[in-house]
């Protein structure tokens, strides 16, 4: 069965610095999607970034970028120039190409120090 | 544009009581989902729907029921509440199975 592992329950970073959140997954599939979602204290899940497994180029959205290593089954999120508003829980999620179900990691709590 | 709206925001139930969690979306999305989030865990899919009149079980459907009579609404029913159903429940929608999910703000349910 597919699993998603986030090994860092909590991370902290100084405002304006860069932080990387780790995610590994286990699958035997070749076609799938990977996601990072942000959950601020308001509780609402917000999509941060998405990566298609067939794309070799790493996805980027403004200050957020990923390091997708397909062979290593690793999907880390890099946040540059951290801002106070980035403080939240971050969840990594996986979905097979032909399946509706998202498999979620347990989350990483990101603390931004002013 | 409200997006996905869930009610109530909070609820306390006694063991054995029933309730319906409401979810409505105004984006004309065909796909809707119910997830639960337990402390320290990721989300788990309870039920999903690919359109009005069509529903299917997810990973953890036991103890829940759903219906989808309209595109906009996807209520989740708990018939006999149990302490194991204490959780935060999220409704989400998308305009295709390959499209990003839009989430509601969640319902925190406590069963005592």
Per the CB < 8 Å rule, is A47 touching B101? yes
Per the CB < 8 Å rule, is A102 touching B103? no
One pLDDT digit (tens) per residue for chain A, 114 residues: 689 999 999 999 999 999 999 999 999 998 999 999 999 988 889 999 999 999 989 999 999 999 999 999 999 999 999 999 999 999 999 998 877 788 999 999 999 999
Q: How would residue B1 be classed by pLDDT, with cut points 50, 70 and 90? A: low
Q: What is d(CA A10, CA A37) in angstroms, rounded to the nearest whole number?
A: 15
- The residue assigned the tokens 């004309």 is B28
Per the CB < 8 Å rule, is B48 touching A100? yes
Q: A104 in contact with B at a CB cutoff of 8 Å?
A: yes
Per the CB < 8 Å rule, is A107 touching B40? yes
What residue of A is the nearest CA neighbor of B107? A43
Per the CB < 8 Å rule, is B58 touching A101? yes
Q: What is d(CA A53, CA A60) in angstroms, rounded to the nearest whole number?
A: 14
Top residue of B54, B101, B104 to mutate, by most chain A CBs within 10 Å, is: B101
Q: Which tens digit of pLDDT belongs to each residue from B54-93?
A: 999 999 999 999 999 999 999 999 989 999 999 999 999 9
**Residue B25: partners with Cβ closer than 8 Å, 6 or more residues away:** B3, B4, B5, B32, B72, B74, B91, B93, B102
Per the CB < 8 Å rule, is B42 touching A104? yes
Q: What is d(CA B32, CA B104) in angstroms, rounded to the nearest whole number?
A: 11
Q: Which tens digit of pLDDT belongs to each residue from B31-58?
A: 999 999 998 788 999 999 999 999 999 9
Per the CB < 8 Å rule, is B42 touching A105? yes
A contact residues 29-68, partner B, Cβ 8 Å cutoff: 33, 35, 42-47, 50
CA distance A113 to chain B (A): 22
Of A47, A91, A106, which is closest to B100 when you measure between CB atoms? A47
Q: What is d(CA B110, CA B94) in angstroms, rounded to the nearest whole number?
A: 28
Give me the total of CB pairs closer than 8 Å, taking one residue from chain A and one from chain B: 50
Share of chain A above pLDDT 90, in %: 83
């Amino acid at each position: 069965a597919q699993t998603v592992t986030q090994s860092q329950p909590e991370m902290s970073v100084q405002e304006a610095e860069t932080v990387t959140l780790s995610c590994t997954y286990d699958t035997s599939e070749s076609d799938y999607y990977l996601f990072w979602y942000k959950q601020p204290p308001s509780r609402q899940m917000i999509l941060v970034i998405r990566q298609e497994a067939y794309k070799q180029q790493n996805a980027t959205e403004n200050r957020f970028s990923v390091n997708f290593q397909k062979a290593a089954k690793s999907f880390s999120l890099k946040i540059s120039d951290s801002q106070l508003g980035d403080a939240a829980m971050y969840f990594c999620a996986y979905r097979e190409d032909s399946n509706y179900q998202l498999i979620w990691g347990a989350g990483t709590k990101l603390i931004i120090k002013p | 544009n409200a997006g996905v709206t869930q009610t109530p925001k909070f609820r306390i139930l006694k063991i054995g009581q029933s309730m319906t969690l409401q979810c409505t979306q105004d984006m004309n999305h065909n796909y809707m989902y119910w997830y639960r989030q337990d402390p320290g865990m990721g989300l788990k899919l309870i039920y999903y729907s690919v359109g009005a009149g069509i529903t299917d079980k997810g990973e953890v459907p036991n103890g829940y029921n759903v219906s989808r009579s309209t595109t906009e609404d996807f209520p989740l029913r708990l018939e006999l509440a149990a302490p194991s159903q204490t959780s935060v429940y999220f409704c989400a929608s998308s305009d295709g199975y390959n499209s990003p999910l839009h989430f509601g703000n969640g319902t925190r349910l406590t069963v005592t």
